[in-house]
Each structure stands twice: as C-alpha cells, then as structure tokens.
C-alpha cells in the first residue's frame, strides 16, 4: 500500500496525560484500523501495527521490504498484557522483567496462539518488550492492542533514531509518523531467550550481558549471532542490516594501521569515508564522521545509526570504521557494525 501523504504528528513527550492528546489518539486510531504508524521508543523508532492482525503485519513487511521469515517484536504497555499472549513466564524471565521493564530488553517466551502467526514467523515463540518511552507507552495504551514494531526503516538500512530518518525511508509507504524527538539509547533492545532455565542472548543491545548476569546469574550468547545460515528465532539474527550507501569495512588495529588502510584506498583513486572516535581524528579521508570519545560507549551507540546515514550516496566509494572492545555496550555496537559491513574486516593481527 502507498499513500500520497504520510501523516506527521509532533508531540512533546514531557507533557502530562499524553495518552489523551489528539495526536496520540489519531495515531492509535490508525493502528486500530490495521494501518501502520512509526513512533519513538527509547532505543530507535519503531514501525507499529496491530500484532493480532495479519493485514497489519503484511503492511509492516511491505513497507520495510522485510523478509517474512524474520519475526517481529511485540510491544506492550503493562506487564499484565504479557500473560494474554504467552503460555507461561519462567522465574528467570520474571527476574529480568522486574529489573529491566520498562526498558530496552526483549524477552522470548512460548506464545499461546493469540497473536498473528505472521508476527512469530510460524515459530512457537514470541519476542515481547515493554518500551520505556512515554510516547510509545501512550500509543500502545490508547490503541488497547499489542503492537508489533520492528525498526521503522527500509530493510537493510541503518535504523532510525529521528523522525526525519523514518521519513527518508518510508514516506508514502506508511500511514503516519509520530515525531517525539530523537531516541535515547540509539541501538535496539537486547533480546534474550527465556524458554529454558538458561538465559541466552539472541541479540545484544541496550541491556548488556553484564547487566543481565547481575540479576539472573550466568548468561550465554547464541552462536547464531555469528552463524548467519541458521533460521532466525529473534529479530536481528539474519540478513545484512544497518548498511550505509557505500561499502563499509571494519578496521581492527591502531590509529597508524587505520590511517595506512585509508591512505591505500585513496591512492587507488577511491573517495574514502571514515567512521571513527575522537582519538583517531585526522586520519586520511575525504569525509570524516566522529562518534565521540572511545571511552563513552553510550554516546557512540546514540550516534551510530545517524552517522552511518550521514555518508550519502555518491559521496564516498568506501567507508572504514573503527572497532570497539566487545564488553558492556561495545558488544551491541560491534554486532551492528559487523552486520553493516557484511562481515568485512581488516585486522592488523593478520
């Protein structure tokens, strides 16, 4: 479905009784009519549709150009909603819910068949989270529905952290965009499988492995995060994601090694873009985008997708990106960068 004009509502997330505002009521009304609407969460902008409706889920997949075997996250506004759609909540899942909801944590549990089968991609499990953003919460409450909401971008593009990013990708393809300002975390939620006693990270995100282990003990990471030929059991586990217009290559090495690789490409006649921290300032490049200090990973995460989008088509031929330690939030940042690069990496150690 296409639209001559995608509605744009601007809301102030700090106002009281946000759920009753005309903009929120109209956006929620669209969702109740099985249309799809983009709105901000604390992680990225989501593309929301009625999770009980095949029609709405089809529109989400069509707008994004997303493969239908990739399951969607269901967003709820109150913990009580969870019990309407899952068979049971394990004790481990309950610990995580108490510690991290609302917030950037998605929990995978066995569903009870009440949701559209297209949300779960035919799997016996469903991914659910409760966003910690007043606009998202207000829309979900006003709709009275569980809301399936993948990131509001064309499939494969960097996820949107502003309403302008959504409009760039999806204007005319969706019914509306609720503009609640820039998002906070900047990378998507952490996804964990809680269907067994052992908690397994299916996608790193705003809640780190270390955060989880403080609450629930040892946590493992699913090997499918690096074995891309497996069928996805969670959003974000398959296909290239987050890609800028030009090819992206990760460079694992010190500043001198990074500069050498950039200069080699320029000698080959290529226009070079670099995605770096402040510490690598001044490496040879035709366009430089800085992510902030290397030690401030929350700031790097917030800037990541906007920075990837800042390399416009035809502006550079190749982008070299710095790598980060895979501890704390660095694991989520590197997960996104590896997917954006399609696994391409140059290492100083080789």
CATH number at residue 147: 3.90.870.10
Tell me what pLDDT residue 229 has.
42
Residue 283 located in a structural domain: yes
CATH number of the domain to which 322 belongs: 3.40.50.11030
Q: Which residues are within 8 A (CB) of 264 and not within 5 positions of it... i.e. 6 or more apart?
A: none
In a domain, 239, yes or no: no
Specify the number of domains making up the chain.
2
Residue 327 included in any domain: yes
- The CA distance from 193 to 179, in Å, is 32
* pLDDT for res 230: 46
Does one domain contain both 281 and 215?
no
pLDDT value for 5: 87
Q: Give the annotated binding-site residues for ATP.
A: 66, 70, 125, 151, 159, 203, 242
**Peptide bond before residue 102 is cis, with ω within 30 degrees of 0:** yes
- Convert the pLDDT of each residue in 79-122 to its tens digit: 999 999 999 999 999 999 999 999 999 999 999 999 999 999 99
Whether 243 maps to a domain, the answer reads no
Q: How many CB atoms lie within 10 A of CB 189?
A: 30
Which residue segment(s) compose the domain that 256 sits in?
248-347
Residue 235: what pLDDT?
55
Of 210, 225, 240, the residue that ends a domain is: 225
232, part of any domain: no
69 plus 182 within the same structural domain: yes
Residue 224: the pLDDT is 77
pLDDT at 325: 94
CA distances to 198, 249, 270, 339, 345 from 227, in Å? 20, 19, 32, 12, 16
Which residue positions in the chain have pLDDT lower than 70?
226-241, 313, 350
Numbered residues of the known binding site: 43, 66, 70, 75, 125, 129, 149, 151, 159, 189, 203, 242
Integer Cα distance of 218 and 225 in angstroms: 18
Q: Do residue 57 and residue 150 come from a single domain? A: yes
Closest CA to 86 of 107, 55, 72, 56: 107
Say yes or no: 188 and 55 in one domain. Answer: yes
Sign of CA dihedral 6, 7, 10, 15: negative
- Binding site for L-threonine, by residue number, is 43, 75, 129, 149, 189
Counting every residue written for the chain, the total comes to: 350
Q: Do 21 and 141 fall into the same domain?
A: yes
Are 304 and 176 within one domain?
no
Residue 233 lies in a domain: no
Q: Note whether 149 and 74 are same-domain residues.
A: yes
Q: Which pLDDT value is given to residue 226?
A: 55
The strand ranges marked E within 196-344 are 199-203, 219-221, 248-252, 272-276, 287-290, 318-322
DSSP 153-214: S-TTSPPPSSHHHHHHHHTTTSSEEEE----SS-SPPEEEE-SSSSEEEEE--SS-HHHHHH
Among all chains, which residue has been given the structure tokens 């983009």?
38
């Amino acid at each position: 479905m296409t639209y001559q004009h995608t509605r744009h509502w601007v809301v102030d997330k700090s106002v009281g009784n946000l759920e009753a505002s005309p903009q929120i009521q109209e956006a929620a009304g669209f969702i109740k009519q099985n249309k799809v609407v983009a709105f901000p969460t604390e992680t990225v902008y989501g593309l929301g549709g009625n999770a009980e409706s095949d029609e709405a889920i089809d529109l989400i997949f069509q707008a994004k150009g997303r493969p239908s075997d990739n399951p969607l996250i269901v967003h709820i506004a109150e913990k009580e909603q969870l019990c309407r759609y899952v068979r049971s909540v394990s004790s481990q899942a309950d610990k995580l819910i108490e510690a991290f909801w609302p917030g950037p944590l998605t929990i995978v549990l066995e569903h009870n068949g009440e949701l559209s089968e297209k949300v779960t991609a035919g799997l016996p499990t469903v991914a659910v989270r409760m966003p910690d953003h007043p606009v998202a919460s207000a829309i979900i409450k006003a709709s009275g529905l569980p809301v399936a909401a993948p990131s509001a971008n064309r499939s494969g593009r960097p996820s949107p952290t502003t309403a302008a990013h959504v409009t760039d990708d999806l204007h005319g393809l969706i019914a509306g965009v609720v503009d609640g300002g820039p998002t906070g975390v900047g990378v998507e939620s952490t996804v964990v499988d809680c269907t067994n006693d052992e908690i397994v990270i299916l996608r790193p995100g705003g809640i780190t492995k270390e955060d989880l282990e403080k609450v629930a003990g040892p946590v493992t990471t699913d090997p499918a995060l690096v074995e891309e030929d497996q069928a996805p059991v969670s959003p974000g586990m398959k296909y290239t994601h987050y890609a800028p217009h030009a090819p992206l290559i990760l460079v694992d090495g010190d500043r001198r090694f990074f500069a050498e690789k950039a200069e080699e490409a320029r000698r080959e006649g290529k226009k070079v873009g670099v995605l770096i921290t402040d510490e690598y300032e001044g490496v040879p490049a035709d366009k430089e985008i800085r992510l902030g200090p290397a030690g401030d990973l929350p700031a790097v995460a917030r800037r990541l997708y906007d920075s990837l989008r800042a390399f416009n088509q035809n502006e550079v031929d190749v982008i070299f990106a710095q790598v980060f330690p895979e501890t704390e939030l660095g694991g989520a940042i590197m997960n996104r960068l590896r997917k954006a690069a399609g696994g391409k990496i140059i290492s100083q150690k080789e």
